[in-house]
C-alpha cells in the first residue's frame, strides 16, 4: 500500500510563508529607511557643492578674507564634509535640526510653526480633491464614451497641461484683481479664526485641487475600466444589478489597489509640491521658508526642509505600498 506524502503542518511552514504580510511590510519599512538615508546624503552633499558662500553673502561688501574665514570657522565649515555630515545626522536622530545661520534661532522651532501651515493647506486640498476625483472617475466610467465622459476628459487634460504657478496667477488675476482682494486675504496671519483662515487659503487650495484632481480622476477611471471586462462584472449585470451600482459595489473595490497608489502619490505631491504655490501666494509655510533660506544660503534650514519634504514623500509612498498589499492579497506572494 502506497503511503501518502506527509503534508507539513502550519507551524512547520517557513516564517515567510506563515507571515507574508509582516514580511512585506518589514521590507517596505527597511527600504524606506535606507532610501531616506540615501536622500540625506544627497541633500547634505548636494547643498554643499552649490555655488556661493553664506559668509560672503552675510558680510556683503565688508567680506574681507579674514572675516570670511572667521565666520566659516565659527560655523564649522572649515571641517571635513564627512565629519559635519555625521554630526548633522547624529543631531537629526535626537530631533535637533541645528541653528539657523541667518537668524540664530532654532531651526526646529521655526519649522514647527511653518510645517503646520503647509500640512493644513495640503489637508484642505486633499479633503476636497480625493472624494471629487473618485466621484468624477465613477461618473466618467458610468457614461463612458458619452458626453459627460468626454467633457470630464477634456477638462482634466486641460488642467493637467497647466503648471501650478500659471493656475495660481490666473486665480489671482480673476478673484483678486478683477473681483477684488477683500474677499480673499493675501496671506494667513497668526491668531486667525478658523473661518477666516479657510477663507484666506481658498485660492491656494483651489490651485492645488485643480493641479492634482485631473491626475487622480484619470487614474481612477483607468483602474475601474480595466476590471469592467471581468466575468464577475458581466455576471453582476446579468443578475439585474444596475450598471452604476455594479461599478460601485464590484469594480471599484477590485480597482482599489491602483487607486490607493495614485491617491498616495498625489498626497505626497500636495505636501512636497506646495513650494511653488506658497511662493505664488506668499503663504507662510515650509515652501516659502525654504525659498527664503536658499536666497541667503542658510544651509541648516535648507537641509532640514529638504529632508522633511523627502521624509513625507517616502512615508506616503510607503503607506501606499502597505495599503496596496493589504487590499490585494496577491501582492503578499510575489513571484
Higher pLDDT, 100 or 229: 100
Q: Quick one: angle between helices 274-281 and 164-171, nearest 10?
A: 30
Mean pLDDT of 207-217: 86
In the chain, what percentage of residues exceed pLDDT 90?
6
**Statement: residue 220 has pLDDT above 60:** yes
Mean pLDDT of 209-237: 77
Q: Among 38-47, 48-57, 192-201, 267-276, which is the least confidently predicted range?
A: 48-57
Mean pLDDT of 119-129: 89
The pLDDT value recorded for residue 4 is 52
Cα(266)–Cα(137) distance, integer angstroms: 15
Total residues belonging to the chain: 335
Higher pLDDT, 21 or 117: 117
Q: Are 55 and 68 in contact (CB under 8 A)?
A: yes
Q: Are 126 and 274 in contact (CB under 8 A)?
A: no
Mean pLDDT of 78-94: 87
**Statement: residue 75 has pLDDT above 90:** no
Q: Among 20-29, 49-58, 306-315, which is the least confidently predicted range?
A: 49-58
Query: How distant is the alpha carbon of residue 106 from its chain centre?
Result: 25
Using CA atoms, how far residue 63 sits from 56, 71, 299, in Å, is: 5, 10, 19
Q: Are 312 and 72 in contact (CB under 8 A)?
A: no
Environment class of residue 64 by beta-carbon count within 10 Å: exposed (0-12), middle (13-18) or buried (19+)? exposed
The pLDDT value recorded for residue 324 is 75
Residue with cell 491602483: 258
DSSP string covering 56-114, please?
A: HHHHGGG--HHHHHHHHHHHTTTS-HHHHHHHHHHHHHTT---B-TTT-SBHHHHHHHH
Higher pLDDT, 36 or 23: 36
The pLDDT value recorded for residue 134 is 84
Nearest Cα to 129, choosing from 245, 244, 224, 264? 264
**Statement: residue 78 has pLDDT above 70:** yes
- Mean pLDDT, the chain, rounded, equals 79
Torsion of CA 24, 273, 120, 139, to 10 degrees: -80
Residue with cell 565649515: 77
Cα(327)–Cα(332) distance, integer angstroms: 10
Higher pLDDT, 296 or 13: 296
Higher pLDDT, 206 or 267: 206
Mean pLDDT of 122-128: 90
At residue 62's C-alpha, the angle toward residues 56 and 68, to 5°, is 40
Burial code (b: 16+ CB inside 10 Å, e: under 16) for 193-222 equals eeeebeebbebbbbbbbbbbbbbbbbbbbb
The answer, as to whether pTM is greater than 0.85, is: no
The pLDDT value recorded for residue 178 is 76
Tell me the per-residue pLDDT of 297-320, one tens digit each, with 9 for 90 and over. 788 888 899 899 889 889 888 888
The pLDDT value recorded for residue 37 is 92
Domains and CATH numbers, the chain: 107-332 (1.10.3720.10)
Mean pLDDT of 170-199: 71
Higher pLDDT, 243 or 139: 139
Cα(186)–Cα(282) distance, integer angstroms: 8
Cell numbers placing 83? 565629519
**Statement: residue 18 has pLDDT above 70:** no
pLDDT classification of 33: cutoffs 50, 70, 90: very high
Residue with cell 487650495: 205
Cα(222)–Cα(257) distance, integer angstroms: 12
The pLDDT value recorded for residue 1 is 47
The pLDDT value recorded for residue 35 is 93
**Statement: residue 174 has pLDDT above 50:** yes
Amino acid at each position: 500500500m502506497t503511503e501518502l506524502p506527509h503534508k507539513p503542518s502550519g507551524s512547520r511552514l517557513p516564517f515567510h510563508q506563515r507571515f507574508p504580510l509582516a514580511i512585506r511590510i518589514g521590507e517596505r519599512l527597511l527600504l524606506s529607511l535606507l532610501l531616506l538615508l540615501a536622500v540625506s546624503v544627497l541633500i547634505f552633499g548636494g547643498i554643499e557643492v552649490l555655488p556661493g558662500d553664506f559668509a560672503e553673502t552675510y558680510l556683503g561688501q565688508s567680506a574681507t578674507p579674514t572675516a570670511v574665514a572667521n565666520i566659516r570657522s565659527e560655523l564649522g565649515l572649515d571641517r571635513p564634509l564627512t565629519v559635519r555630515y555625521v554630526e548633522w545626522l547624529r543631531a537629526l536622530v535626537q530631533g535637533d535640526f541645528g541653528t539657523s545661520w541667518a537668524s540664530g534661532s532654532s531651526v526646529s522651532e521655526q519649522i514647527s510653526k511653518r510645517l503646520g501651515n503647509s500640512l493644513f493647506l495640503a489637508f484642505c486640498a486633499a479633503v476636497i480633491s480625493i472624494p471629487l476625483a473618485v466621484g468624477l472617475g465613477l461618473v466618467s466610467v458610468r457614461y463612458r464614451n458619452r458626453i459627460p465622459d468626454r467633457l470630464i476628459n477634456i477638462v482634466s487634460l486641460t488642467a493637467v497641461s497647466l503648471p501650478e504657478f500659471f493656475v495660481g496667477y490666473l486665480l489671482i488675476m480673476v478673484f483678486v484683481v478683477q473681483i477684488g482682494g477683500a474677499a480673499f486675504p493675501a496671506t494667513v496671519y497668526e491668531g486667525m479664526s478658523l473661518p477666516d483662515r479657510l477663507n484666506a487659503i481658498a485660492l491656494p487650495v483651489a490651485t492645488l485641487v485643480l493641479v492634482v484632481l485631473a491626475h487622480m480622476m484619470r487614474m481612477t477611471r483607468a483602474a475601474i475600466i480595466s476590471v469592467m471586462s471581468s466575468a464577475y462584472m458581466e455576471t453582476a449585470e446579468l443578475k439585474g444589478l444596475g450598471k452604476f451600482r455594479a461599478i460601485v459595489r464590484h469594480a471599484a473595490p477590485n480597482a482599489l489597489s491602483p487607486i490607493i497608489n495614485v491617491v498616495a502619490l498625489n498626497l505626497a505631491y500636495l505636501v512636497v509640491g506646495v513650494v511653488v504655490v506658497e511662493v505664488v501666494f506668499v503663504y507662510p509655510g515650509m515652501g516659502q521658508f525654504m525659498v527664503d533660506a536658499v536666497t541667503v544660503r542658510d544651509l541648516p534650514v535648507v537641509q532640514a526642509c529638504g529632508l522633511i519634504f523627502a521624509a513625507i514623500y517616502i512615508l506616503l509612498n510607503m503607506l501606499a505600498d502597505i495599503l496596496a498589499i493589504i487590499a490585494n492579497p496577491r501582492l503578499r506572494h510575489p513571484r
